Structure 1
Amino acid sequence: MPTSKHGDGHPSPAAISATGLRKSYGDKTVLDGIDLNIPAGSVFALLGPNGAGKTTAVKILSTLITPDAGQARVGGHDLATSPQAVRAAIGVTGQFSAVDGLITGEENMLLMADLHHLPRPEGRRTAAELLERFDLTAAANKPASTYSGGMKRRLDIAMTLVGSPRIIFLDEPT
C-alpha cells in the first residue's frame, strides 16, 4: 500500500492512491492512465481544462463509475473489492448542488443525518453545529430556494460533512 510520512516520520497510508486509471466512452478516452498518491491530512487540487477528466476521476474514486483499467485505494480500501468501505469513508459535494430547494436548510441537514442513520438527537445536534459553522443558522428555517448561490453552496458542503467523512471530494467547489 502506498504510504506517506507523518510529521513524526512514521509512515501512514495514503488517503488516495491510484495507478493507471483509465476510462473511455466508446472511442473517446477521458482518462488515460492517471496516477495519484495523496497523503492523509493534505489538500489536493486536480486542475485542468474542461473535458480533461477531472469529474470522471472523482466519479471513479467515489465509486459512482468503474474504471476500464487501473487500481485505486481510498481511505485504505480497494475500490474494486471494498466499494462500501470506500463510500463509508468519503463525502462528496458534486458539481451540481444536492440541496433540495423545497425544504429548509435545517430539513436538508436532517435528511442527510437520516441518510447516515444518525440517531435523532445526534442528527439534530450535528445539523445545528454545522449550520452554525457555515453561518447558516439565521436562514436555517427558510426554504433553501430562497438562499443565495453562496449560501446554497455552503449548505451543500455542510450536508457533505454530516457523516464526518475522513475524505472529502469537492467537484467544482467554486
Structure 2
Amino acid sequence: MESISFRIRKTFLIPLGLVVLLSFVLLGSAWYLRLPTAKMVILAAFLLPACIIFAESLRRTIILGQESIQVKKLLRCKTLNFAELTSVDIIQVRKRAFLSLSSENDFLIISNSYENFGTLLQQLLKVLPETVISAETRRLAENPPQKGSDIFSAWLAVAVLALIIYVQLRDLF
C-alpha cells in the first residue's frame, strides 16, 4: 500500500476561510469608519482564534503508510507505528466520531472532520493487527457517521458577518 493522505474537509475549510476574510473586512471597515476602540478590540479578539483555527485546520493532514500513521499539524508532527499500537477504539457522540489510537507511550485522536473518514477507517483496519481493534471500531467502519453541523455553523457565521458588513457600510454607497 502506498501512503494515503487525508485532510480536513474542504466543505468546512471554505466557509471558515470566508469567516476569517470577512472578519478582516469588518475590522478594516471599523477602522475606516473610526468606530470605538472597544469594538475593534473585541473584533480582533474574535479574529485571532478564528485565524488560528483556520491555519490549524488548513495544515492538518493524516498520512497513512504501510507501517505507520502520521498526523501533521501546525508547527508539529506525530507518528505512531502500527506494531506499537495496543488499542484502537472509537467513540461516537451524536454524529461526531473520535478514533483513538494508543500505544504504550503515545496516542492519537482523530475525528471524523477529515474528508473520506470512512476510507481512513477501512484502510486502518486493513493494516492494523486484529487484536488491537475494538468491536465498536469495526462496526462504525462499516457505516461511519457523517458530521455536518460544523459546516452549517461556519456558513451561518459567514452570513451573519456579511450582514453586519452590509449594515455597517450601506450608507457609504
TM-score, normalised with respect to structure 2: 0.22
Highest RCO, 1 vs 2 (Cα 8 Å, sep ≥ 6): 2
Richer in helix (by share): 2
TM-score, normalised with respect to structure 1: 0.22
Based on CA coordinates, which of the two structures has the bigger radius of gyration?
2
